């Protein structure tokens, strides 16, 4: 009987490596990096009073967003966060940030109330988490595809509004190049604790 050949998925390997690196950061260092990245993003003029800003609530070592949320609310933005609509079809929507909250199956906090829920096409800016990114704006996410599905209208050019898609990450998450699949939605820019990367998506 011949031996089985096992192929390693490069994306899965990269996800594991980056997740390990994120979790290894002390909490104080995560918070410091988040403050720096939040100040960089706030200087871009994207957080305008009355605009709908979708921001993730971090889990598993992702760049914290508390500082960014405080800035957005102080600027008068209408802040929304993701809420899983279907785990079977990997769909999510965005709901206003307000208590009470619950933990979903992924351990991510999300508001219990769904009143005011809206799709990504109604957002002005969508701040996305990531495990890795490259200079072209390609994003390596968690692998479930929630954000790519939520933003799929951008690839189809069907919407009259195009939310700016902004990555929010640690600078060490930048890699030389990522393979972009047909379903991958590129980011417009990526903000880290050290730099602003304006992509050539």
Q: Give 119-163 pLDDT, tens digit per residue.
A: 999 999 999 999 999 989 999 988 788 998 999 888 876 555 689
Q: Does domain 10-198 have CATH number 3.40.50.800?
A: no
SS3 152: helix
Q: Which of 55, 47, 197 is nearest to 126 (CA)?
A: 55
Q: List the domain boundaries for the chain.
A: 10-198
Q: How far apart are CA 12 and CA 160, in angstroms?
A: 35
Residue 63: the pLDDT is 96
pTM for the full predicted model:
0.89
């Amino acid at each position: 009987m011949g031996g089985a050949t096992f192929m390693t998925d490069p994306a899965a390997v990269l996800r594991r490596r980056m997740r390990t690196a994120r979790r290894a950061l002390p909490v104080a260092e995560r918070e410091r990096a988040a403050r720096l990245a939040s100040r960089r993003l706030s200087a871009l003029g994207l957080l305008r009073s009355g605009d709908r800003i979708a921001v993730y609530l971090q889990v598993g070592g992702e760049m914290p967003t508390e500082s960014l949320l405080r800035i957005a609310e102080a600027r008068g933005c209408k802040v929304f966060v993701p809420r899983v609509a279907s785990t079977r079809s990997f769909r999510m929507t965005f709901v206003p940030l307000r208590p009470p909250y619950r933990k979903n199956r992924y351990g991510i906090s999300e508001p219990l109330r769904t009143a005011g829920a809206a799709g990504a096409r109604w957002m002005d800016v969508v701040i996305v988490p990531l495990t890795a990114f490259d200079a072209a704006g390609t994003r390596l996410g968690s692998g479930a595809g929630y954000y790519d599905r939520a933003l799929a209208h951008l690839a189809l050019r069907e919407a009259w509004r195009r939310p700016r898609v902004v990555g929010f990450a640690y600078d060490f998450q930048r890699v030389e190049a990522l393979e972009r699949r047909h379903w991958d939605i590129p980011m417009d820019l990526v903000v880290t604790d050290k730099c602003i990367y304006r992509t050539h998506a």
